[in-house]
Structure 1
Amino acid sequence: MDSVLRAQGRIGSRTLLITSAALPLTGWAIHAAALHKQLAATRKDPLTGLLRRDAYTARAGRILARHGDDTVLVMVDADHFKAVNDTMGHPAGDAVLAAIGARLTAWAGPRAAAGRLGGDEFAVVLELPADRRAQRLEQLVRMLHTPVVLDDGRTVDVAASVGAAAPASVGSRDLTELQRAADAALYDGKHDGRAVLATRQHVTVPSINGRRAGRPGTAVWGRAA
């Protein structure tokens, strides 16, 4: 009997020792998880859930390096956004931005780099082979032109201009060059409800008021109804 009690005592002490040693590790795991969540939060825009500029740039660069010519950079600019804020209020404007963020996330998928660059300007970098490009950009245009229903029941008619740039079409895999070309292509189709694919010419389009003006002679996809 004494031997049984001594054995139980040893087991109990060992269990207590292991449990005590595990407590700091468990506490650190919880702390690390909290830090990870905080870090993830700093990488994302709280309104749209999209990546902030720095996080988007880093992830976009990795996607370009991994997928090369099968990569596409898409620039999106909300049309008439100021009018929404002025006539329907800033909460309505926030709802529109949040809706655009959700639609871009759904369209691009979890492996893409989808970011809010500022205000009503967005960018997405994703793997998108040439044979699927036209269909997918048409799909994006349709999604972005779907009205947004507010919590109070009002409906906001929304639209967005879309420009895209692929390394093979632009002649560069540099993120900055692709972004310039996609932005210039976007302005070729501004307010027209279409997606425009950039060419090499768009890389050299001069800037107007801080934004790049587009040129004719580009491929156009997805005119909204």
Structure 2
Amino acid sequence: MHDPITYALLLGTSASCFALIAQNRHLRSALNAARHDADHDALTGLPNRRALVAHLNGLLSDRKRPVSVIMLDLNRFKDINDEHGHATGDAVLREVAHVLTELRMPRAFAGRMGGDEFAVVVDGDDDLSRAYAHAVADALNHRMIMIQWQTFGCHASVGLAVANNSHRTAFELLHHADIAMCVAKERGGSVQEYRPGLTIAPRTGNHRRRYR
């Protein structure tokens, strides 16, 4: 048996070890939470713009399979915010995120770009991307949400851009998807695929964010 002093020292050492282990676990948990928060949108829980851009750049640098971006923007979302308040607008945004999660699209990475803009990065062939773009538009255009006894739609304009050899960065492909989305909005919604020469009317283009 250990003498009392040795026994006390052993107990103290064990307690210190357990305290260090607990502290390390807490630090790892805090670090993981910080990493998650840095790459996810606080409102919807979806990956944020930073995560989307990083994921897309990784796919573009690899190019094992075709890559596309689906960009969507809610129609008349500003009216919802202005007339019914930001809490209602936030509820609509969360519903959009729920729809994108519900669709369960294999080889797709969906996230929120900011405001009422969302994007889906598709790691697959052109036909798969087009099918997903139409599935997203159809699901949102048929989704209704009731908030305080009022019904709101989640109608969206959807743009699709398929990467080619000229697309070297995420920002170039996002910019083309954004142009296609704006043209879809000008034409009343639905889905528009980007093609060379596609342009935005000046009154719309002046209000668009540049992806550079």
What band does the TM-score fall into relative to the shorter chain? 0.7 to 0.9
Show the counterpart of 1:211.
Answer: 208
Asked if the contact 1:60/1:113 (under 8 Å) is kept, the reply is: no
1:129 counterpart = 2:125: yes
What letter matches 1:174 in structure 2? T
CA distance in 2, matches of 1:85, 1:119: 11
- Contact kept, 8 Å, 1:163 with 1:196, in 2: the verdict is yes
Residues 106 and 173 of structure 1, relative CA distance in 2, 3 Å threshold: farther
Deviations 1:128-155 (A, max 9, x none): 3223233222211111113332353432
Higher Rg: 1
Q: State the match for 1:188 in structure 2.
A: 183
- Residues 107 and 28 of structure 1: CA distance in aligned 2, closer, same or farther (over 3 Å): same
> Aligned to 1:48, what secondary structure does the other structure show?
coil
The answer on whether the counterparts of 1:145 and 1:159 sit within 8 Å (CA) in structure 2 is yes
Shift in alpha-carbon separation, 1:151–1:79, aligned structure 2, 3 A: closer
- Give 1:176's aligned residue: 171
The answer for the alignment partner of 1:222 in structure 2 is: none
Corresponding position: 1:83 with 2:79: yes
SS in 1 for 2:192: strand
Q: SS at 1:140's partner residue? A: helix
RMSD of aligned residue pairs (Cα, Å): 3.2
Structure 1 stretches of 5 or more lacking a match?
A: 213-225
Counterpart Cα distance in 2 of 1:164 and 1:187: 11
User: Is 1:152 aligned to 2:148, yes or no?
Assistant: yes
1:194 positional shift? 1.8
Within 5 A, what are the aligned runs for 1:42-61?
42-61=38-57
> Once the two structures are aligned, what percentage of the paired residues are identical?
30
Gap runs ≥5 in structure 2: none
Q: Mark the CA change 1:142 to 1:205 in structure 2 (over 3 Å): closer, same or farther.
A: closer
Give the distance between the partners of 1:66 and 1:22, measured in 2 at CA. Answer: 44
CA 1:175/1:71 → structure 2, altered by over 3 Å: closer, same or farther? Answer: same
Equivalent pairs, count:
205
Query: Equivalents in 2 of 1:148, 1:206: separation in Å?
Result: 30
CA positional deviation for 1:46: 1.3
Report if the CA contact (8 A) 2:183-2:200 is conserved: no
Partner of 2:97: 101
Which of 106, 112, 118 aligns to 2:114? It is: 118
CA separation of 1:145 and 1:49: change in aligned 2, threshold 3 A: same
Q: What TM-score do the two structures reach when normalised by structure 1? A: 0.74
TM-score (ref. length: structure 2): 0.78
- Whole-angstrom distance in 2 between the partners of 1:114 and 1:51: 7
